[in-house]
């Protein structure tokens, strides 16, 4: 069946089955301006995933919540976790925040979205486009702010249990307050099985610079040994999602010293164990020829990860009157990573044991210390100034690279002003200084115009940047695929890298214009956008090694729209569509693995007041692979049934993801077929 027919059938089935509350244009958020602002007054395109949507999603973590967001491309296939793209930007261009505070992920600029349990989340705010004015480096593509739950009564909480085809999950959250003191505590346990496909790998051995099947190796000695030891092909397990055991616990307290002083302290601990089977691009055997190790390609490997993270956040706010507020925040995080790569063919490759066959090991510790000072002065309801300063320190100890502590300093100011009743302006400037010598100035200017009470137009210009990270500058190790990974400053003549390359920060400019309106039973939003990127940092494959260079000038432009309507009391329909043209302006090619369009259709039908049947269909358009070839789009439909018993504070949910058993293009990996789950949530 063709892809268009598949998508049509998915959408038609969704309609027959028949989402969430109509999205309110006056939702209050903090992400766009770092102050409480109506979403309709923000000049940049902003989306909110509400607490009700999260509670009714049946999701156990942030990744599962975001996968249903129509304008986001979330690639969940792969042993290293989900990666996300906003408006065609790279996954490393999105900055993640928890309660407005920067969090960091892997050294490879991915963030493991399954590490944040849904039980702790009140809502998620998403701003799209360059956002470095308030957030500095890493916010070229957008910002995701995860707002955690806060106490709302003397004592309460919830427990959620879930069982699925490939996972079991337990979420717990409790909170309380008494007089000037409040507390919150959450815990999560996730046990997820691997999603595995049986595949055949054709082994190749490098002989004289040529790939040869083991049976075609010529000569005696070690060549003869490998010819005898290795088969030409093996049936292997390929995990497109690895085994995962995740334990998280965290909590915090708030104390109100007086009407003017408030102290917040939060702590968390995460323990993660992962295991996955895959196929290595290249692997070093224990046999040599002319003093050099003989390389073998496309053999099965096992990856084991043992990771821990500790965080401590504290903030002290001073609010002497309704016009002035100042807040100081201190945040500390420590991430300890241990990764090992072995091969099950260790004996065939001449090793004494599997442990001796270690190909890639990453023993690393990364510490972050963030200091933020933020002051807000409100002259009137239509005139507010925000100023801030940041000082961040990063300390890395790793067998992959060695580098001194790195620090970042920043100053910024922003003015929110409504000179006329129907016109609102938000503009500002920021200065960032990186200790390795980089400095950037980021500007932003935008405004809104109220055509009527329920209809607005928006326009915004914003700049962004991303400093090269330590991995891109200094890494010197073997990657999980078996290939040498070298930073731009590293020289390794043994693989042919004989020069140091200067790596400059990426910079971006985003221009967007939008229109939004709503009626009693519907709302509609449309946004045009264009982002220009200079000095794009790209990982390049040089055959014997990989490294990083500023190679391109890119342009990403397009539009996105959303429409929601509730034609009858029992039915809600929400549709989104994005069109993206992402081009490498240096050579005129399309940016790799960037969908040309995204579409989604969410429908909810309330069989009765406490029983909802929901269908979510998402379509990902064609994209260009690493060989500059077009790979086809795909559509996936997920179904959910939600039963809420208000009298007993109990809700039950069940669902099936990918109900039509669709595959995705091979270049994108694979996804689970007809993946079911069932669960319950008790609120007290």
DSSP string computed for 453-494: TTEEEEEEEEEEEEPPPHHHHH-EEE-TTS-EEE-TT--BTT
Helix H segments across 617-675?
none
On whether the CB atoms of residues 308 and 112 are closer than 8 A, the answer is no
Share the mean pLDDT of the chain. Answer: 86
CB 564 within 8 A of CB 574: yes
The pLDDT value recorded for residue 79 is 46
Instruction: Write the secondary structure of 421-460 as one string of H (helix), E (strand) and C (coil).
Output: CCEEEEEEEEEEEECCCCEEEEEEEEEEEEEECCEEEEEE
* Residue at token pair 């137009």: 457
Residue 93's SS3 state is: helix
pLDDT, tens digit, 9 for 90 and up, residues 31-89: 655 667 777 788 888 888 888 788 777 677 888 888 878 788 877 655 455 677 888 88
Q: Is the pLDDT of residue 297 over 70?
A: yes
Please answer whether residues 625 and 613 qualify as being in contact, where contact means their C-beta atoms are separated by less than 8 angstroms. no
Q: Among 5-9, 29-33, 320-324, which stretch is predicted with the lowest mean pLDDT?
A: 5-9
CA–CA distances in Å: residue 247 to residues 15, 145, 268, 271: 39, 22, 11, 5
Residue 573, pLDDT above cutoff 90: yes
Confidence of residue 105 (pLDDT cuts 50, 70, 90): low
The residue among 108 and 598 whose pLDDT is bigger is 598
Arithmetic mean of pLDDT, 282-293:
90
Cα 28 from Cα 49, distance rounded (Å):
12
**Of residues 393 and 404, more confidently modeled:** 393
Model confidence at 22: pLDDT above 70: no
Beta bridge partners of 410: 390, 432
Asked if 526 and 559 touch (Cβ cutoff 8 Å), the reply is: yes
List CB contacts of 682: < 8 A, sequence separation 6 or more: 158, 159, 160, 649, 650
Element (H, E) at 9: helix 3-17
Q: Is 499 helix (H, G, I), strand (E, B) or coil?
A: coil
Q: What does the DSSP 8-state code read for residue 504?
A: P
Q: Which one is predicted more confidently, 3 or 663?
A: 663
Edge-first strand listing for the sheet containing 101-102? 46-49, 121-128, 142-148, 94-98, 101-102
Provide the pLDDT confidence category of residue 8 given band limits of 50, 70 and 90: very low
pLDDT at position 19, please?
35
At CA 206, angle to CA 204 and CA 212, rounded to 5? 45
Give the pLDDT of residue 6: 43
Structure confidence by residue, pLDDT tens digits, 431-442: 999 988 778 999
Lowest mean per-residue pLDDT among 25-29, 133-137, 331-335, 414-418: 25-29
Q: Single out the residue of 216, 198, 199 nearest to residue 207, CA to CA.
A: 216
pLDDT at 11 exceeding the cut of 50: no
Radius of gyration of the chain (CA): 26
Cβ atoms of 2 and 590 within 8 Å: the answer is no
Distance CA 387, CA 392 (A): 17
Contact (CB, 8 A) for 214 and 227: yes
- Integer Cα distance of 529 and 88 in angstroms: 11
Q: What is the pLDDT of residue 277?
A: 93
Range in 140-144, 252-256, 378-382, 412-416 with the lowest mean pLDDT = 140-144
User: What residue ranges define each of the domains in the chain, with the CATH number in brackets?
Assistant: 3-683 (2.40.170.20)
CA distance 259 to 272: 41
Query: Distance between CA atoms of 341 and 304, rounded to whole angstroms?
Result: 7
How many residues would you count in the chain? 684
Structure tokens belonging to residue 238: 């390929």
Compute the CA torsion angle 676, 682, 683, 684 (nearest 10 deg): -170
From its phi and psi, is residue 496 left (phi > 0), alpha (psi between -120 and 50) or beta? left
Question: What pLDDT does 530 receive?
Answer: 95
Q: Determine the pLDDT at residue 3.
A: 44
Band (pLDDT 50/70/90 cuts) for residue 564 is very high
Q: What are phi and psi of 617, to 5 degrees?
A: -115, 130
DSSP designation for 587 = T
H or E segment to which residue 505 belongs: none
Which residues are paired to 128 by β-bridges?
A: 142
Query: Which two tokens mark 223?
Result: 């060549």
pLDDT of residue 18: 38
Residues whose CB falls within 8 Å of the CB of residue 8, separated by 6 or more in sequence, listed in order: none
- Residue of 136, 167, 154 lying closest to 243 (CA atoms): 167
DSSP string covering 230-290, please? --SEEEEEEEEE-EEEEEEEEEEEEEESSSSEEEEEEEEEEEEEEEEEEE-S-EEEEEEET
């Amino acid at each position: 069946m063709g892809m268009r027919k598949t998508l049509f059938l998915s959408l038609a089935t969704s309609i027959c089955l028949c989402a969430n509350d109509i999205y309110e244009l006056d939702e209050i958020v903090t992400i766009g301006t770092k102050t409480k602002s109506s979403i309709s007054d923000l000049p940049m395109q902003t989306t909110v995933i509400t607490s009700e949507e999260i509670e009714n999603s049946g999701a156990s973590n942030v990744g599962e919540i975001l996968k249903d967001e129509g304008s986001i491309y979330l690639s969940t296939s792969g042993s290293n976790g989900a990666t996300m793209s906003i408006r065609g930007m790279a996954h490393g261009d999105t900055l993640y925040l928890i309660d407005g505070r920067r969090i960091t992920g892997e050294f490879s600029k991915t963030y493991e979205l399954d590490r944040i349990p849904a039980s702790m989340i009140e809502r998620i705010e998403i701003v799209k486009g360059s956002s470095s004015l308030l957030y500095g480096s890493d916010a070229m593509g957008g910002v995701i702010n995860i707002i955690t739950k806060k106490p709302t009564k003397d004592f309460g909480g919830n427990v959620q249990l879930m069982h699925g085809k490939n996972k079991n999950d337990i979420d717990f959250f409790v909170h309380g307050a008494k007089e000037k003191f409040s507390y919150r505590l959450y815990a999560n346990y996730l046990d997820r099985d691997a999603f595995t496909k049986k595949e055949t790998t054709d082994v190749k051995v490098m002989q004289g610079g040529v790939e040869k099947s083991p049976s075609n190796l010529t000569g005696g000695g070690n060549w003869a040994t490998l010819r005898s030891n290795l088969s030409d092909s093996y049936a292997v397990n390929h995990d497109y999602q690895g085994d995962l055991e995740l334990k998280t616990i965290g909590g915090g307290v708030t104390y109100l010293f007086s009407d003017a002083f408030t102290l917040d302290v939060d702590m968390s601990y995460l323990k993660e164990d992962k295991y996955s089977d895959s196929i290595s691009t290249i692997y070093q055997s224990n046999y040599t020829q002319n003093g050099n190790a003989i390389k073998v390609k496309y053999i099965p490997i096992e990856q084991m990860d043992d990771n821990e993270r500790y965080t401590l956040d504290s903030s002290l706010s001073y609010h002497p009157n309704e016009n002035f507020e100042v807040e100081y925040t201190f945040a500390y995080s420590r991430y300890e990573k241990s990764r090992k790569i072995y091969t099950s063919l260790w004996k065939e490759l001449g090793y004494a044991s599997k442990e001796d066959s270690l190909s890639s090991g990453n023993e690393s510790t990364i510490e972050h210390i963030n200091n933020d000072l933020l002051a807000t002065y409100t002259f009137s309801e239509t005139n507010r100034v925000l100023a801030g300063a940041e000082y961040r320190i990063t300390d890395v100890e790793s067998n992959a690279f060695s580098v001194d502590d790195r620090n970042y300093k920043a100053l910024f100011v922003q003015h929110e002003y409504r000179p006329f009743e129907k016109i609102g302006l938000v503009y500002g400037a920021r200065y960032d200084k990186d200790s390795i010598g980089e400095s950037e100035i980021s500007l932003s200017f935008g405004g809104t115009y109220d055509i009527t009470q329920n209809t607005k137009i928006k326009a915004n210009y914003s700049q962004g940047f991303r400093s090269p990270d330590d991995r891109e500058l200094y890494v010197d190790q073997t990657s999980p695929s078996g290939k040498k990974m070298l930073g731009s400053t590293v020289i390794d003549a043994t693989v042919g890298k004989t020069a140091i390359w200067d790596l400059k920060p990426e910079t971006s400019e985003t221009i967007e214009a939008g229109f939004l309106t709503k009626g009693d039973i519907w709302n509609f939003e449309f946004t045009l956008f264009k982002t220009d990127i200079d000095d794009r940092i790209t990982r390049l494959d040089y055959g014997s090694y990989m490294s990083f260079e500023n190679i391109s000038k890119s342009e990403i432009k397009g539009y996105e729209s959303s429409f929601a309507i509730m034609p009858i009391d029992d039915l809600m329909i929400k549709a989104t569509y994005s069109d993206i043209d992402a081009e490498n302006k240096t050579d005129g090619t399309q940016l790799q693995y960037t969908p040309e369009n995204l579409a989604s259709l969410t429908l909810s039908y309330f069989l009765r007041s406490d029983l909802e049947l929901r269908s979510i269909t998402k379509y990902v358009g064609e994209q260009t692979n690493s060989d500059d070839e077009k790979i086809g789009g795909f559509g996936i439909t997920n179904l959910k049934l939600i039963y809420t018993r208000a009298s007993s504070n109990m809700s039950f949910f069940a669902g099936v993801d990918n109900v039509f058993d669709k595959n995705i293009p091979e270049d994108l990996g694979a996804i689970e077929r007809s993946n079911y789950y069932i669960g319950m949530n008790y609120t007290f």
